[in-house]
Structure 1
Amino acid sequence: VIDEFPFLIQSNSSIPSIFQRVWDNVLQKMGAKMILLGSSISVMESDVLGYRSPIYGRRTAQIYLTPLKFKDIKGLFPEHSWEDIVRIYGIADGIPAYLQEIRYRLMHGERLTDVFTPGKPLFEEGEFLIRSELWEPGRYLLILKAIAFSNTKFGEIVNFTSLPSPTVSQYLSNLKKLHLVRVEHPFGARETRRNARYFLFDNYFNFYFRFIYTHRDELIEMGEIEGFEEMFNTYLGYIFEKVAMEMIWEKMRMGEIQARSAGRWWRKDAEIDVVAEGRKNIYFFEVKWASLKKKEIGRIISTLQEKVDEHWKTNKRIHLGVVGKEIAGKEELRREGFLLYDLRDL
């Protein structure tokens, strides 16, 4: 097992050729297994997995390690509430090293807001990763900042950055290859560039560009961001949509929701946070990072029903639901036929 194989390649470009000869002439004949690990996606994909690599065609498997799922993070913070876990997830995503850093700080009496102050690893990590993966990082940083501030349409990114459209297109393509940016299309719609929306791949980069990168000088000079809690709570509304989507997929796997595909849906004048569809059923959910009472649920469902009636034509059985931080009287409302989930359902 060789960890951080890209570091070897960067120190000696002939390493893949050396490994190819050793593998072909010695290790393969011995029935040995070789596991190469690396955190640099660009190097692993070009110099290890790429067809021009000397060791191309010799792999028997490849694994892209994804972050931990939201519900699994609770095991690292058993003494914290689910609401706290959402806050932690909004900063660290499910990345073990970042979660471990936060866990260490909290165990030693620090606040969650202390984990990204100057001198702490998460304060520099975002820009360090970009500079280690990409040439001309300045333009990439600008594009990532644009997306973090909800400029998710191609035209919005161009306007925010003032970069030429072909440049933005090429840079977005590179960022997608590095799993830094993902592209989404409205659920059930034909995929076109006009209906594409771009999002940062993980929550840490979202948090970094919204708060650390943008408020760097303020953090250095003042040690904190003025009005952070209010801005962070607004940001958690977006994070909770990801939590809700994961929750819906889990209910689908359990058979509680009879659907096989799910996603976000939008048009120019309307948006539905989660749509899940099966052979006979279709489900529509609104997601709210808030504590909701019965009257509020009624208003949300009514608005959701109007959007479904206006924009969806289907012969399938329609189900309407809400995912909230906390829903009062949830069981009573469920008996009325609504699908309702909150953090207590995790």
Structure 2
Amino acid sequence: MEKFHNTLEWLNILREKLRRDRGELVIIYGRRRVGKTELVRQFLREVGGVYLYIDYCEPAELLRLLSKDVREQSGEFVEFGSWDSFLEWLSTQRVVVLDEFQRLQQVSPAAITRLQRLWDDRLKSEKILLILVGSSIGMLRKVAMGGTAPLYGRATSQFKLEPFRYTEARGMFEGSSERERIGIYGVFGGTPYYLQFVEAELGLLGSVEKNVLRKGSPLLDEPLVLLRTELKEVTRYNSILAAIAEGKRTLKEISDASGIHINKLMYYIENLRDLMDLIELRKPVLGKEKMGRYNFKDNFFRFWYRFVLPNRSLLERGETEKVLSRVEAELDSYLGPVFEEVVRELLIRYNGRNLNGFQLDFDEVGSWWDRVGNEIDICARGKERVLIGEVKWGRDEVGTDLLDSLHRKSEILPWKGKKDLLLVSAAGFTKECRREAESEKVLHLDLSDIGRLFDALAGTTK
């Protein structure tokens, strides 16, 4: 399975598949709203082909709708009276996309079995690119990806389409400052559908008020809608996600906060992690997995469970301004961990390259913490050296006290090799701190450096 964030990267893979002289059955899946349908349509606009959407309806009605779609897109007169006639038509095509394919499991399981037989008998040897797109990951596993699924082993490629990383998301807001871009990413995340609700003329907080907090706004209930489409016992999942948003990171902390017994908790955690792709377990670099902490993978969900769910009563009463004031008051604190993630992403993207005179070569990039409360924001481990760093998302320049703190933390880090130091401050550094960092050969970056380095990755200069 391959993961893709970048549209061009994704399209290049499909172009390569199209050049093959054999049948290619490609499965593309990912959470709702990540842009699967739009990317497939972009590919079809380039190469041609037929796009078919599988809806929930009776088999006869679905066949009628598929016939209509084929006629409208290709001009070919068809009238599918059975799945056999549909599959016979399919066998004559070069490129076909079946969107929300997993729904066939509920509409007509026999159609999937027939497709499997057709693929085995004919299509795998024909020059056809068949793309199956799905957003219900659990159902897709039953149909094509699980060991007992009818189409298991037939796919020539499986792609998981991921939300944008900061690298891609920032490119959508070229007129914004780096601080504004990080704020947008921290609130709306990397899902293209959510990012479209950022309105430049309103700014970040105005966009939040209009499109997230107001009654009837498009994103007010979005996380609940997503959970309800995939899961049962939504109240339990809500409790778990709310606990993580409050800073409860370990299983015991989440269990205590949610009221779900720890022996039952892993079932729900695994669904949120493996099925929904909303959370992940992070372990400390140079540490053990049993010290792992659960974190949100999606910034919009983190924001929603931090600010929307706890204030739902106020929002239902129309007291949007009061909730917005709370968001504004806590926004910088909320964005601190987001900025740390952005810095870690920058280090990963520059791994193996030179960054401001430092040659980066890491096997692992993350954070470090221990059992007694010591934490280091950045910990990047190589074979012979480690880079450790502190990251500050504030409005004031940082002084030498931050460098002194980092020196103290470096002494307790369980690493016997070379230790390099990194300071990152969104607001920059005092002259004394900058002078001391340069004297000690400490890598130090401010927000303008961060923007310049990301611009260089994108091949732009600003």
Do the aligned partners of 1:93 and 1:204 also contact (CA within 8 Å) in 2?
Answer: yes
List aligned pairs for 1:155-194, cutoff 5 A: 155-178=252-275, 179-192=277-290
- Give the superposition deviation at 1:291: 3.7
Specify the code of the residue in structure 2 equivalent to 1:189.
Answer: G
Number of the residue aligned with 1:319: 420
1:289 and 2:393 matched: yes
Number of the residue aligned with 2:376: 272
From the superposition, tell whether residues 59 and 303 of structure 1 become closer, same or farther in structure 2 (CA, over 3 Å). Answer: same
**Distance between the aligned counterparts of 2:178 and 2:137, measured in 1?**
32
Number of the residue aligned with 2:180: 84
Number of the residue aligned with 2:407: 305
TM-score, length basis structure 2: 0.69
Do the aligned partners of 1:283 and 1:318 also contact (CA within 8 Å) in 2?
Answer: yes
1:243 and 2:342 matched: yes
Do the aligned partners of 1:6 and 1:38 also contact (CA within 8 Å) in 2?
Answer: yes
Number of the residue aligned with 1:67: 163
**Distance between the aligned counterparts of 2:436 and 2:129, measured in 1?**
56
- Give the superposition deviation at 1:103: 4.4
- Give the superposition deviation at 1:216: 1.6
Do the aligned partners of 1:286 and 1:322 also contact (CA within 8 Å) in 2?
Answer: yes
- Give the superposition deviation at 1:122: 1.3
Number of the residue aligned with 1:102: 198
| Farther off after superposition, 248-257 or 232-241 | 248-257
**Distance between the aligned counterparts of 1:227 and 1:103, measured in 2?**
21
From the superposition, tell whether residues 75 and 106 of structure 1 become closer, same or farther in structure 2 (CA, over 3 Å). Answer: farther
| Farther off after superposition, 140-149 or 252-261 | 252-261
Specify the code of the residue in structure 1 equivalent to 2:280.
Answer: R
List aligned pairs for 1:91-170, cutoff 5 A: 91-103=187-199, 106=202, 111-117=207-213, 118-170=215-267
Specify the code of the residue in structure 1 equivalent to 2:135.
Answer: S
**Distance between the aligned counterparts of 1:223 and 1:89, measured in 2?**
22
Number of the residue aligned with 1:9: 105
Number of the residue aligned with 2:144: 48
SS at match of 1:183: strand
- Give the superposition deviation at 1:262: 1.1
Do the aligned partners of 1:241 and 1:287 also contact (CA within 8 Å) in 2?
Answer: yes
Considering only CA atoms, is the larger Rg found in Structure 1 or Structure 2?
2
SS at match of 2:351: helix
1:233 and 2:332 matched: yes
Number of the residue aligned with 2:154: 58
**Distance between the aligned counterparts of 2:274 and 2:207, measured in 1?**
35
Specify the code of the residue in structure 1 equivalent to 2:306.
Answer: R
- Give the superposition deviation at 1:218: 1.2
**Distance between the aligned counterparts of 2:261 and 2:437, measured in 1?**
51
Structure 2: state its 5+ residue gaps. 1-96, 452-462
Specify the code of the residue in structure 1 equivalent to 2:297.
Answer: F
Q: Deviations over 1:164-202 (max 9, x none)?
A: 11111221122221212200111122322xx12111221
Q: State percent identity of aligned pairs.
A: 30
Do the aligned partners of 1:106 and 1:112 also contact (CA within 8 Å) in 2?
Answer: no
SS at match of 2:167: helix
**Distance between the aligned counterparts of 2:139 and 2:329, measured in 1?**
40
Number of the residue aligned with 1:343: 447
Do the aligned partners of 1:262 and 1:276 also contact (CA within 8 Å) in 2?
Answer: yes
Do the aligned partners of 2:400 and 2:436 also contact (CA within 8 Å) in 1?
Answer: no
From the superposition, tell whether residues 23 and 262 of structure 1 become closer, same or farther in structure 2 (CA, over 3 Å). Answer: same
Do the aligned partners of 1:77 and 1:103 also contact (CA within 8 Å) in 2?
Answer: no
- Give the superposition deviation at 1:157: 0.5
- Give the superposition deviation at 1:333: 5.3
From the superposition, tell whether residues 305 and 174 of structure 1 become closer, same or farther in structure 2 (CA, over 3 Å). Answer: same
Q: Deviations over 1:132-181 (max 9, x none)?
A: 11111111111111111110011110110111111112211222212122
Aligned residues: 340
**Distance between the aligned counterparts of 2:426 and 2:130, measured in 1?**
46
1:260 and 2:359 matched: no
Do the aligned partners of 1:4 and 1:39 also contact (CA within 8 Å) in 2?
Answer: yes
Specify the code of the residue in structure 2 equivalent to 1:227.
Answer: R
Number of the residue aligned with 2:126: 30
- Give the superposition deviation at 1:214: 1.7
Specify the code of the residue in structure 1 equivalent to 2:139.
Answer: V
From the superposition, tell whether residues 42 and 338 of structure 1 become closer, same or farther in structure 2 (CA, over 3 Å). Answer: same
